[in-house]
Structure 1
Amino acid sequence: MTPAATGAGIGLIGGIGLCLVLWRLAARRITLTDRIAPYLRERPRTSRLLAEQRGHTPFPTLERLLTPWLDDLGGLLERLGSTSSSIRRRLPSRAAG
């Protein structure tokens, strides 16, 4: 291989590498739209705290009292044993039947 061909090959590889680096830097650039979008988002007109929550049982007061305790108990059991995502992975899908 001649020195000119070697130089041309090295220059070609360097040029392609430089183009790839510049292309990735341009892809990372944050646009003005991306920067101001969170401030222009449509906000709900009322507080979510005032929205009526639907109960899952015929005893909504009892449900509101016990839900935090049951959530904490579920978190404790999940830390002690299998996580819910690992159980879902191991169980066969109901939609397949």
Structure 2
Amino acid sequence: MAASTNAAPVNGPAAGDVLNQRCFRLMADLAEDRDPRVQGLGRMAAQYFLGRIDAADPGFDSDAAMDAPAPTGAERQRLLGQCGDAMQAGGRDFRMIGRQLAPRGRPTV
């Protein structure tokens, strides 16, 4: 039987967990930006990624995550794109759930 290439490393987080943690770190930085628009988006996005992390790892230490070095330059731009893609995919998932839960037709009176 072949081993799955999607399995998480035995002693480490899955790739999705790592991305969520890196996105949380970046968005928490953006939440401290001088521009109020960027601050608001950063706070919202940091909460989004913190929720994803907490669902997978309830013992996650967000303070320790802030000790990780912040990405800069091209790495920061690449990560912004990846985080945006992850949030967009999550939004599609929520819209699909909403459509599935919506009543099929209007009741007649």
Same fold (TM over 0.5): no
**Higher relative contact order (Cα pairs below 8 Å, separated by 6+ residues):** 2
- TM-score, reference length from structure 1: 0.29
If you compute each CA radius of gyration, which structure gives the higher value, 1 or 2? 1
- TM-score, reference length from structure 2: 0.27
